[in-house]
């Protein structure tokens, strides 16, 4: 059972979507320490602004209400009022004040929440709370094909800690924006201020290292919660604890990429020997968002010129005459010139579902590894029809 002491979950169909679950709740009856990272998008939704305010002013969180099917974005002051209304109604059923709760939304942008429907569903939602996170993970999905759960147990200093990760997201996935919903819950004892010191680095190595289509949503949020039910994390095991959390975050991030809209390939892109991490990250981002590169991957086409072409357009310190490029183990460019690798070898390599592209810049010792997908007919279909 993937449970974490101190947290309960539920997920139901309320009627925001025509069918499928669309309303979800995480409840920590005794409260949890917490930290958050939210989207950098300027059109951040009211739910994101509310999360930022609560993170700024509070150190204890009891509830996270999440709906799918409607992003409550571009909804102005009414969007904020709707959040308060929903949290007040939630407080009529479980012991949560509006300042102890969050209300996150994902789905179509520019429509008001059907607040009445959601209020009516609140009784059923709270009555359905259990230790099992699966309904929650399903109810937060939009175009996701599968729920995304990572469960990990970690033993340290004679105690067994649980770490549970739950995420949603498969489009609008872009680095540097904490890009989707992601919740990581643990039963360890650790205060909000320490969690808040950790969270940016965890996000950078996981959710900020993936890209499906280059767009960052108005609603993306990453929440880290600790129920303080198990032993205290100490100076002795703090670094290890952060590594464990980071590994769970990376696994969740990779699950999001693998479920990328229409994805038929999972591609690891390694930028090696760059001058700075920031330049390496920029190059990853250019490769991971180039429609020309991504459609070639979909076509299982070793058209490697497009990869260098797309990083060549950037304003970086790249020296085109010393770059190497590998498709998997095969060198295709050495010192900026094409290498005569047999096309049959490359064709065979490109047929694998998991690809690895390595760009070696020979300019320094910075590197960046990120994960992305191809661009398929189904990506177009999913997004042409999404309403």
Residue ranges in 24-43 that form contacts with a copy of itself under rule CB under 8 A: 40-43
Residue ranges in 75-114 that form contacts with a copy of itself under rule CB under 8 A: 75-76, 78, 108-112
Of 213 and 259, which has the nearer Cβ to a copy of itself?
A: 213
Tell me if 333 contacts a copy of itself by CB under 8 A. yes
Which tokens is 40 given? 């950098």
Tell me if 290 contacts a copy of itself by CB under 8 A. yes
The correct pick among 32, 54, 73, 223 for binding a copy of itself (CB under 8 A) is: 73
Tell me if 74 contacts a copy of itself by CB under 8 A. yes
The correct pick among 15, 91, 200, 312 for binding a copy of itself (CB under 8 A) is: 312
CA–CA separation, 40 and 219 (whole Å): 9
Q: How far apart are the first and last CA of the chain?
A: 36
Of 153 and 335, which has the nearer Cβ to a copy of itself?
A: 335
Tell me if 375 contacts a copy of itself by CB under 8 A. yes
Q: How far is CA 310 from CA 204, 270, 285, in A?
A: 23, 15, 10
DSSP letters, 101-113, are: EEEEEEEESS---
Q: How many residues does the chain have?
A: 387
Pairing type for strands 210-211 and 366-373 reads parallel
Catalytic entry in 39, 179, 186, 360? 179
Residue ranges in 335-364 that form contacts with a copy of itself under rule CB under 8 A: 335-338
- Could you give the maximum distance between any two Cα atoms of the chain, in Å? 70
Q: How far is CA 236 from CA 232, 239, 327, in A?
A: 11, 8, 42
Tell me if 274 contacts a copy of itself by CB under 8 A. no
DSSP secondary structure letter of residue 145: S
Q: How far is CA 168 from CA 119, 145, 230, in A?
A: 23, 10, 27
Taking contact as CB under 8 A, which single stretch among the options 81-89, 142-150, 191-199, 310-318 is the one that binds a copy of itself? 310-318
Of 44 and 248, which has the nearer Cβ to a copy of itself?
A: 44
Let me know if 186 is a catalytic residue. Answer: no
Query: How far does Cα 52 stand from its chain's mean position?
Result: 18
Q: How far is the CB of 124 from a copy of itself (least distance, A)?
A: 29
Closest among 356, 48, 1, 370 to 212, alpha carbons compared:
370
DSSP secondary structure letter of residue 189: B
Active site residues: 179
> Under the rule (CB under 8 A), what is the footprint of a copy of itself?
40-44, 71, 73-76, 78, 108-112, 171-172, 174, 177, 213-218, 289-292, 295-296, 298-299, 301, 303-306, 308-314, 316, 318, 320-321, 332-333, 335-338, 375-377, 379-387
């Amino acid at each position: 059972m993937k449970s974490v002491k101190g947290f309960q979950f539920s997920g139901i169909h309320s009627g925001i979507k025509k069918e499928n679950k669309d309303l979800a709740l995480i409840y920590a009856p005794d409260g949890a320490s917490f930290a958050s990272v939210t989207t950098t998008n300027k059109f951040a939704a009211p739910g994101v602004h509310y999360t930022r305010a609560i993170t700024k002013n509070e150190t204890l969180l009891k509830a996270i209400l999440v709906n799918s099917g409607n992003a409550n974005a571009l909804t102005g002051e009414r969007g904020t009022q709707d959040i308060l209304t929903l949290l007040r109604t939630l407080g009529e059923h479980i012991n949560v004040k509006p300042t102890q709760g969050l209300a996150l939304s994902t789905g179509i942008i520019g429509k008001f929440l059907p607040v009445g429907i959601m209020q009516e569903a609140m009784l059923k939602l709270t009555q359905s709370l259990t230790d099992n996170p699966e309904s929650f993970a399903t109810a937060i999905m939009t175009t996701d094909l599968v729920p995304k759960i990572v469960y990990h147990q970690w033993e340290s200093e004679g105690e067994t800690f649980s770490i549970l990760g739950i995420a949603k997201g498969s489009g609008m996935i872009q680095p540097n924006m904490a890009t989707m919903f992601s919740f990581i819950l643990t039963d360890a004892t650790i205060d909000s201020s320490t969690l808040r010191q950790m969270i940016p680095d965890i996000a950078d190595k996981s959710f900020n290292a993936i890209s499906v289509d280059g767009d960052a949503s108005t609603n993306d949020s990453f929440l880290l919660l600790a129920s303080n039910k198990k032993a205290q994390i100490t100076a002795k095991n703090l670094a290890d604890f952060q590594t464990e959390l980071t590994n769970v975050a990376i696994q969740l991030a990779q699950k999001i990429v693998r479920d990328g809209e229409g994805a038929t390939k999972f591609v690891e892109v390694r930028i090696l020997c760059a001058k700075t991490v920031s330049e390496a990250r920029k190059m990853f981002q250019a490769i991971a968002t180039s429609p020309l590169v991504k459609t070639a991957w979909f076509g299982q086409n070793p058209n490697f010129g497009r990869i260098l072409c797309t990083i060549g357009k950037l304003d970086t310190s790249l020296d085109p005459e010393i770059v190497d490029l590998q498709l998997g183990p095969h060198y295709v460019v050495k010192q900026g010139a094409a290498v005569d690798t047999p096309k049959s070898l490359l064709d065979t390599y490109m047929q694998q579902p998991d690809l690895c592209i390595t760009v070696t810049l020979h300019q320094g010792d910075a590197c960046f590894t990120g994960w992305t997908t191809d661009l398929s007919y189904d990506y177009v279909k999913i997004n042409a029809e999404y309403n």
